[in-house]
Amino acid sequence: MRLTAQEQKMLDGAEGEAIAAAMRILVQYGEILGAERLVETDNVCGATVFGPRHSRVLGDTDPARLFSRFALDSDEVLEVPAVKAHSCQLIGPRDPEHWDLQGMTAETSAEIERSQRYLADRGVNLLSTCTPYQVGNDPRFGEHCAWMESSAVVYINSVLGARTNTEGRESAAASMLTGRTPYVGLHRDEERLATHRVVVEAPMHSTYDWNVLGYHLGDVLDDAVPVLDGIDLTPDPVDLKQFGAAIASSGDVELYHIPRVTPEARTLEEALGGRTPRETLRVGPEDLVAAAARLNATAASDEIDFVMIGCPHASLSQIREVAELLDGRRIADSTNLWVFTPSALRTVAERNGYRAAIERAGGRILSDTCPAIAQFLPPGTRTFATDSAKQAHYLPAIMGVGGHFGSTSRCVEAAITGRWSG
């Protein structure tokens, strides 16, 4: 890999051992990917808050030791300076307000707090969400970024036209400290052109439809760059958030185009860059029915113990919708309804009265974390319901529970009756 003089200095240790360790990670990783050089980045999102899962391995809760070991691959405790790139922490292990609902001890909560403080002291913004683009980190068109989290990666690549690969914890941490990322994959123009044309013949009327379309396409495309043809209604940001999360969970899609909707595809021809698609696929209503059936295949019971809304983290409009659907009614005693959102949006939901409406019904709004990432559920949960294809895909595998997938209104109804209907 060709390095600039400045990058070579960083690699040689002129800026300290932590920066040198970060450069070693980027050079090794870039060379494995076939990158010929690095590119500057000033927007990095990573996940380097550590808790008991990591400290148990080391037998030490010192945040500096944990960061050195798990973010920079060093057994030495390195002196880590302030980050060079604007950086933020993605979703983490703990809701700072409701950690007790997660079944967490005060000691564990304090350990996570220390790890967060360590990052904040180095300039990492604690957005603590899988949707930084909803709370102030919305990269510019064409901006080179280094983000983790598949749903966020596909959103900023596709909807905003920013450029990132799906980074890992170590490469993101290294990019935070150096302001560099390998110039490879979706940073390059030619990798961003559509490879597959998807003719959507199923009507796309709702967020539910977008979830299911994403889940179906991830399954059949794996890691292609699709362009969707035949979309005549303009999807809103929530539709696109749910679609991207779904297509990146059943498959590895990191970028898609929709003519007249996403910024790199004013036309079908522009999305394809004048090339012939490798394949043209048709998606009809029957494909979506089959995908929805797969998402509902894990539940052995219609008794709902837990309703999860907010994967990826809920927008304000989604929280409002839940508050309005509850409409003064109460959630069944046997059921928990938890809505997950960034903490900044929980604050606004509180101001607007949505939080009070949800809590009066017996629900809760949680922030900074989610059941799949932090591996927690309300005690005794055997069957859950969710309006997110991604959560329906992952939670059964991660937590060994059965799940139902449906629209938000159907999920809220399940919370009120305690049963999945229809």
| Interface pick for ligand F3S out of 372, 401, 411, 414 (rule CB under 6 A) | 372
Which residue is associated with the tokens 């604007």? 86
Dihedrals φ, ψ of 90, to 5°?
A: -80, -160
Q: Which stretch binds ligand F3S (CB under 6 A): 50-58, 206-214, 287-295, 387-395?
A: 387-395
| Interface pick for ligand F3S out of 21, 130, 186, 349 (rule CB under 6 A) | 130
What is the DSSP code (8-state) at residue 275? Answer: P
Shortest Cβ 353–ligand F3S spacing (Å): 24
What is the DSSP code (8-state) at residue 409? Answer: H
Shortest Cβ 249–ligand F3S spacing (Å): 8
Shortest Cβ 90–ligand F3S spacing (Å): 7
Binding status of residue 374 toward ligand F3S by CB under 6 A: no
Tell me how far CA of residue 295 lies from CA of 192, 287, 290, 390, in angstroms.
29, 13, 9, 9
Our CB check for ligand F3S shows the closer of 171 and 211 to be: 211
Our CB check for ligand F3S shows the closer of 58 and 398 to be: 398
| Interface pick for ligand F3S out of 45, 177, 186, 245 (rule CB under 6 A) | 245
Task: Name the nearest CA neighbour of 162 among 4, 181, 178.
Answer: 181
CA distance 405 to 388: 7
Q: Which of residues 302-341 bind ligand F3S (CB under 6 A)?
A: 311-313, 340
Chain centroid to Cα 164, Å, comes to: 14
| Interface pick for ligand F3S out of 192, 216, 390, 404 (rule CB under 6 A) | 390
Shortest Cβ 159–ligand F3S spacing (Å): 15
How many residues lie near ligand F3S (CB under 6 A)? Answer: 14
Q: Which stretch binds ligand F3S (CB under 6 A): 155-163, 184-192, 224-232, 368-376?
A: 368-376
Contact flags string 60-99 toward ligand F3S, x per CB under 6 A: -------------------------------x--------
Exposure class string for 83-120: b at 16+ Cβ within 10 A, else e: bbbbbbbbbbbbbbebbeebebeeebbebbbebbebbe
Alpha helices in 128-168 (DSSP H): 150-158
Our CB check for ligand F3S shows the closer of 49 and 332 to be: 49
Task: Name the nearest CA neighbour of 405 among 421, 381, 386, 382.
Answer: 386
Give the chain's radius of gyration (CA, Å).
22
What is the DSSP code (8-state) at residue 283? Answer: E
Q: Which of residues 163-202 bind ligand F3S (CB under 6 A)?
A: none
Residues of the shown chain interacting with ligand F3S in the complex, contacts defined by CB under 6 A: 91, 130, 151, 245, 311-313, 340, 370, 372-373, 390-391, 394
